[in-house]
Every structure is written in C-alpha cells, then in structure tokens.
Amino acid sequence: MNFALDALWWRLTNPQVRDLASILFAPPLWQTGCELPVRDLVGEHGFRYLIDLNDNPDFRLPEDCAHPLLGKYAENVLAFWLANAPHCRLLTRNVQLFNQQNQSIGELDFIAEIHGRLYHIELACKYFSATDGQPENMVGLNHSDTLLNKISKLNQQLNTHLPSEWQTAQRVSVVRGMAFSHSGSLQIGDVFAPNTWVGRLISDWEDDDFQEKYWYRLPKNGLLSPARVSGSLKMTAADVGNDDGLVAELALRPDGYWHEIQRFMLRK
C-alpha cells in the first residue's frame, strides 16, 4: 500500500488529526460482516470538520487521549470523534458486562448515536504478520497475539447480550490496522478485506536495495497513520537496527517533509 498516493495524507499535517483520519477512513483489516460504513461514521459534514481541526494551529486532542497502549489510544481517538463530530453523540464507553453470577464477561467499547441512530460499536486496531500471508498464520509482534483469536474475541464482543436500555442498538465494528507478508501481498478470501493496508515482513536489512533508502522507526503509538516527518528524523537502515518493530520507508515530498510510502514489520 503506497500511502503517499492518497491525497488525504498530503492535505493533513497535524499528526493527531492524521491519526483520527486513519480511524475514520482506513479500510478494515478483516471483514466482520457488520462494518460501520465510512459514510455514516464521517457523516455529511465530518470531512469539513476534520479539515477545520487540522487547520487550527492550536488544536490538540485532550490530554486524556494519550495512552501507552496503542489499542487504548485508538479507542480514545474514536471516542473524541463520537463525542465531538457534529452528527455524533457519545453516550457511554468501556462498560463492564457481567453474567448472572456477577462474573465479568468483558466490556463493550462504545454506545453512541450517529445521525440519531443508536449503535453498539466495537473497535479493533491490530498489526499482524505471516511469511505466507495466510490468515491462520498471522501473529503480532507478541507471538501469542494471533489474528484468528482476535477475530473470535471481536465476534463474541459484537454478540454480547446488551443491557435493556441499549437492546435496540445496531451492532457494528470499526476494524483498523495492517497485515504484513514477505511478498507484501495477502491471500484475499473470506477474512481480509480486499483493500486492506498491506506491508512487507522482513527479518533483517541484508537486501542491498534497503541500504539506499531512508527510513523511520515508528513509535508504538505512531502506527495509526502514515508517517510524515522532518528530515532530521529520517534514518538509514543501519540507524534503524534489527530490533522487532514497524518501520516506514520514506520519500521526500514537495512540502519538504518525508512521507511514508511503504511499511515494513521487522520480526525475527
């Protein structure tokens, strides 16, 4: 996926607004069958609102949006949108659910109104890789984190019995993230969305072609949107090193910044 070909990433310059845009516009990583359509999530005036946020030099997400865990940060970003976008109203989030024995059976992410319609929204934001690109072999940087387990867990969350006051809520998913394979392609079938973001999986920088390019090692909470960094932050392959993580290949664009054009997962 060549992120730089999408004009959206040329227009947005605020890093936090770029993260917000990724939650709103990025394609789903896998198909749940109950995706919240982008047109509903963004709404008729949502894109204009997003641009206004970007063009406000003083805009920052609220301080409590920050979180060391990427999944929680992504939840906070979506919560900001649901609470502030002109067509949305956030009613509640992170609600603990219990069975008849008062045992916790999980939590729901969001209850919100969009265009006046009640939704139960579950968010997932994950990064998985497999050498062959097959869904059953996909794991995260933490090898105990697997794609199939996450799909199963999300399905359970989407089918959780809701409290009576929200029984009429439509159950929908917002699934974001990327999948990586050695070839940079996936086995598209019943799991992956046809247009999902895809990167390459590598174990080292032995390829001579890598030595001639510039890179940026993505921080843990810098994965949501394509990188856009100043020249002082670009790296050589030697600078990046071989530690596990996500790395962006960079290209200089007319705005004077180095933009992500391809993403790699380094995993031994």
Please state, as a whole number, how many other Cβ atoms lie within 10 Å of the Cβ of residue 207.
Answer: 9
Distance set, CA 51 to CA 57, 80, 209, 226, 244 (Å): 12, 15, 37, 17, 35
First vs last Cα of the chain: how many Å apart?
23
Domain count, the chain: 1
pLDDT in tens, the chain (268 residues): 555 557 888 899 999 999 999 999 999 999 999 999 999 999 999 999 999 999 999 999 999 999 999 999 999 999 999 999 999 999 999 988 766 666 676 789 999 999 999 999 999 999 999 999 999 999 998 889 999 999 999 998 898 888 889 999 999 999 999 999 999 988 777 789 888 999 999 998 877 788 889 999 999 889 999 999 999 999 999 999 999 999 999 999 999 999 999 999 999 8
Chain mean position to CA 166 = 27
Q: What pLDDT is attached to residue 253?
A: 92
At residue 24, φ and ψ (nearest 5 deg) are: -80, -45
Which residues contact residue 2 at a Cβ distance below 8 angstroms, ignoring those fewer than 6 apart?
261, 262
**Residue bearing tokens 């990167």:** 199
**Residue bearing tokens 């664009």:** 253
Tokens of 180: 């990586």
Q: Is the dihedral of CA 264, 266, 123, 259 positive or negative?
A: negative
Per this entry, what is the length of the chain? 268
**Residue bearing tokens 């209850």:** 111
Q: What pLDDT is attached to residue 2?
A: 52
Closest CA to 246 of 145, 117, 129, 146: 129
Q: What pLDDT is attached to residue 8?
A: 87
15-25 vs 70-84: helix axis angle to the nearest 10?
80
Q: What pLDDT is attached to residue 100?
A: 61
Tokens of 97: 């659910």
**Residue bearing tokens 């109104």:** 113
Domain assignment of residue 179, given as a range: 3-266
**Residue bearing tokens 């609102």:** 49
Over the Cα atoms of the chain, what is R_g? 19
Q: What pLDDT is attached to residue 262?
A: 94
- Report how far residue 130's alpha carbon sits from residue 147's, in angstroms, rounded to the nearest whole number: 10
Please state, as a whole number, how many other Cβ atoms lie within 10 Å of the Cβ of residue 79.
Answer: 21
- Report how far residue 50's alpha carbon sits from residue 25's, in angstroms, rounded to the nearest whole number: 11
